[in-house]
């Protein structure tokens, strides 16, 4: 009898040993969830929490993303499209505190970036055909573009008084395509904090926010090569840091340039990306990608989303001045010819997979 009890105990002991071996495996410490919102991939990774808690928290985050998607969408019915319709009709519209906060924040960022980040050019983006789930295939009428640029819609045209929003420029149409993902990252950060999750990684369409660490090492993210199907390098994100890239390789179409008056243009298939220069009305084509790292702050998600755009659009010789002005110490810019501009701070942290030959290292 006693022997049987011992046998049972030893069996239990073995099962216990197996389970503890399995739990010791790293893969069981990582919780992963993927979804498709904002027209892009969402990836949530949580390190070192039990599965039930991770499930609950990540569902809460995804729910918040769905809410923001419906709140901020640029062309499907949302609070933003309601505002845009009111502006077209020259009517004032009542908006809630969250939208007030977002619009005021966008106004500040627009000012800071000398309108290189301009979320009021929804009309221009729609004209280029990027307000659709399908990519456009042709270049819009040049006159229409020029007319829109001349009227120069900007966030400053919007004024808010007692929850009432009015725009003095009828061409203002808000498009938060370059803001919403970053804002969502910051919201996710709040949810993680409320739930006391210490280690997580959130990726919304390439915009990534790191919370804490992956075990005893930092979270490591790859940086996409703009012209090859692999990562060009990887970088460790210290706790609280975020990374954002503006690239011409995600949303673009190829077409012949509309300017056929110039016989010398031999470029048959010019690339037209969704990154439109608000000052010219045309997609910027001298840069392939601009990647930035943003240190921890309450709005680091927004900054990582917003500030890569001005750096992408700005002319080559002005990029460094702009980066300095915007306090971006970590940047990696790949120009149209494949040459690389990289800040010394970024170079110190980067691990190349495909090291570029031509590197212009920016020391400050």
Partner 1 sequence: MQKILLLIRDFKPGDWIIIIFFLFFILMTIKFFLNFPNGQYLKIQKNSEVLGIYSLNQQNIKIIKGQRGVSEIVINNGKVRFTKAPCKKQYCIHQGWISKINQMIVCIPNQISISIIGDKETHDSINY
Contacts with partner 1 by CB under 8 A lie at 3, 6-7, 10-11, 14, 43, 45, 201, 203, 205-208, 214, 219-224, 231, 234, 243-245, 247, 249-250, 291, 351-354
Report the nearest approach of partner 1 to the CB of residue 206 (Å): 4
Nearer to partner 1, 27 or 261 (CB): 27
Nearer to partner 1, 169 or 236 (CB): 236
Nearer to partner 1, 198 or 279 (CB): 198
What tokens were used for 65?
């993303």
The DSSP code sequence of 25-72 is SGGGTEEEEEEEETTEEEEEEEESS-HHHHHHHHHHHHHHHHHHHHHH
Report the nearest approach of partner 1 to the CB of residue 201 (Å): 6
CA distances from 233 to 123, 171, 206, 240, 248 (A): 36, 41, 14, 20, 18
Angle (CA) 327 332 333, round 5°:
105
Are the CB atoms for 347 and 225 separated by under 8 Å? no
What is the Cα–Cα distance from 65 to 234, expressed in whole angstroms? Answer: 27
Report the nearest approach of partner 1 to the CB of residue 291 (Å): 7
Nearer to partner 1, 99 or 333 (CB): 333
Nearer to partner 1, 78 or 184 (CB): 184
Report the nearest approach of partner 1 to the CB of residue 30 (Å): 8
Residue whose token pair is 């970088």: 235
Report the nearest approach of partner 1 to the CB of residue 6 (Å): 6
Backbone φ and ψ of 124, nearest 5°: -65, -45
Residue 240, Ramachandran bin (φ over 0: left; ψ between -120 and 50: alpha; else beta): left
């Amino acid at each position: 009898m006693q022997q049987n009890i011992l046998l049972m105990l030893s069996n239990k002991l073995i099962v216990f040993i197996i389970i503890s071996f399995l739990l010791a495996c790293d893969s069981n410490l990582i919780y992963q969830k993927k979804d498709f919102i904002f027209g892009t991939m969402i990836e949530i990774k949580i390190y070192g929490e039990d599965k039930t808690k991770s499930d609950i928290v990540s569902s809460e985050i995804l729910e918040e993303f769905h809410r923001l998607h419906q709140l901020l969408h640029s062309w499907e019915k949302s609070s933003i499209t309601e505002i845009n319709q009111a502006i077209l009709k020259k009517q004032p519209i009542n908006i809630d505190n969250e939208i007030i906060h977002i619009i005021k924040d966008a106004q500040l960022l627009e000012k800071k970036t000398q309108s290189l980040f301009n979320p009021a050019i929804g009309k221009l983006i729609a004209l280029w055909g990027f307000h659709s789930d399908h990519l456009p295939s042709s270049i819009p009428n040049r006159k229409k573009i020029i007319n829109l640029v001349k009227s120069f819609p900007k966030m400053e045209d919007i004024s808010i008084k007692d929850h009432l929003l009015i725009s003095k420029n009828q061409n203002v149409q808000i498009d938060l395509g370059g803001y919403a993902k970053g804002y969502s990252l910051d919201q996710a950060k709040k949810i993680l904090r409320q739930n006391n999750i210490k280690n997580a990684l959130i990726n919304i369409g390439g915009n990534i926010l790191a919370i804490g660490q992956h075990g005893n090492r930092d979270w490591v993210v790859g940086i996409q090569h703009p012209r090859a199907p692999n990562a060009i390098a990887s970088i460790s994100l210290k706790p609280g840091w975020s990374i954002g890239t503006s690239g011409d390789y995600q949303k673009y179409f190829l077409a012949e340039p509309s300017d056929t008056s110039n016989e010398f243009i031999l470029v048959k298939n010019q690339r037209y990306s969704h990154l439109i220069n608000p000052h010219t009305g045309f997609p910027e084509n001298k840069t392939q990608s601009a990647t930035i790292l943003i240190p921890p702050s309450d709005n680091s998600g927004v900054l990582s989303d917003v500030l890569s755009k001005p750096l992408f659009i700005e002319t080559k010789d002005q990029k460094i001045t702009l980066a300095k002005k915007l306090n971006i110490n970590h940047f990696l810019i790949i120009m149209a010819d494949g040459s690389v501009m990289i800040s010394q701070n970024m170079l110190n942290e980067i691990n190349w997979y495909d090291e570029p030959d031509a590197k212009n290292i920016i020391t400050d």
